[in-house]
Amino acid sequence: MSSINASPSPSPARDATQDAPRQGSRRFLFLQGPISPFFLEVARGLAARGHGVHRINLCLGDRLFWGRVEGQPKAIDYQGRPEDWPGFIEGFLDRHGITDILLLGEQRAYHRAAITAAASRGIAVVVTDFGYFRPDWITLERDGMGGDSRFPRDPAEIRALARSLPPADLTERLRDDFGRQASWDVIYHLAAIAPWPFRHYRSHQLHHPAITYWGIARRLLRRGAERAEGERALAAIGNRPYWLFAMQMETDFSVRAYSRYPDLDTPIAETLASFAAHAAPEAHLLLKAHPLDPCVKDWTARIGRLAAAAGLSGRVHLAHGGSLDDMVNGMQGLVTINSTVGLKALVFGKPVKALGTAVWDVPGLTHQGSLDSFWTEAAPPEPDFRADFLAALQATTQLRGVFYAPAGRAIAVAAAVEALHADRVGAGLPARAPIIPGYPLPA
* Model pLDDT for residues 376-424, shown as the tens digit of each residue: 999 999 999 999 999 999 999 999 999 999 999 999 999 999 999 999 9
Core vs surface per residue 75-93: b (16+ CB within 10 A) or e:
bbbbbbbbebbbbbbbbbb
Of 318, 295, 299, 316, nearest to 307 by C-alpha is 316
Q: Find the radius of gyration of the CA atoms of the chain.
A: 22
pLDDT at 1: 56
Mean pLDDT over 69-90 rounds to: 98
pLDDT confidence band for 440 (50 / 70 / 90):
very low
pLDDT at 205: 82
Residue type, 339: S
State how far the alpha carbon of 30 is from the alpha carbons of 8, 38, 293, in Å: 20, 11, 28
pLDDT at 23: 64
State how far the alpha carbon of 263 is from the alpha carbons of 203, 215, 255, 297, 370, in Å: 19, 18, 8, 11, 20
Which of the listed ranges 6-20, 93-107, 200-214, 246-260 does the model predict with the highest average pLDDT?
93-107
Dist. CA 165–CA 203, nearest whole Å: 41
pLDDT confidence band for 146 (50 / 70 / 90):
confident
pLDDT confidence band for 12 (50 / 70 / 90):
very low
pLDDT at 311: 97
Dist. CA 149–CA 168, nearest whole Å: 19
pLDDT at 209: 82
pLDDT at 216: 80
Quick one: 122 exposed, middle or buried, by C-beta within 10 A (0-12, 13-18, 19+)?
middle
pLDDT higher than 90, residue 155? yes
pLDDT at 244: 98
The 2-4 sheet, strands edge to edge: 2-4, 76-78, 52-57, 27-30, 100-104, 124-130, 137-142, 398-400
pLDDT at 373: 98
Computed over every residue of the chain, the mean pLDDT equals 91
Task: Give me the DSSP letters along 126-142.
Answer: EEEEE-SSTTTEEEEEE
Q: What is the pLDDT of residues 278-314, one digit of tens each?
A: 999 999 999 999 998 888 899 999 999 999 999 999 9
Of 209, 160, 179, 165, nearest to 61 by C-alpha is 209
Residue 162 φ/ψ region, left for φ over 0, alpha for ψ in the -120 to 50 degree band, beta for the rest: alpha
Dist. CA 284–CA 417, nearest whole Å: 48
Query: H or E stretch including 285?
Result: strand 284-288
pLDDT confidence band for 20 (50 / 70 / 90):
low
- The beta strands (E) that lie in 37-111 are given as 52-57, 76-78, 100-104
pLDDT at 7: 36
Three-class DSSP category at 301: helix
pLDDT higher than 60, residue 225? yes
pLDDT higher than 90, residue 113? yes
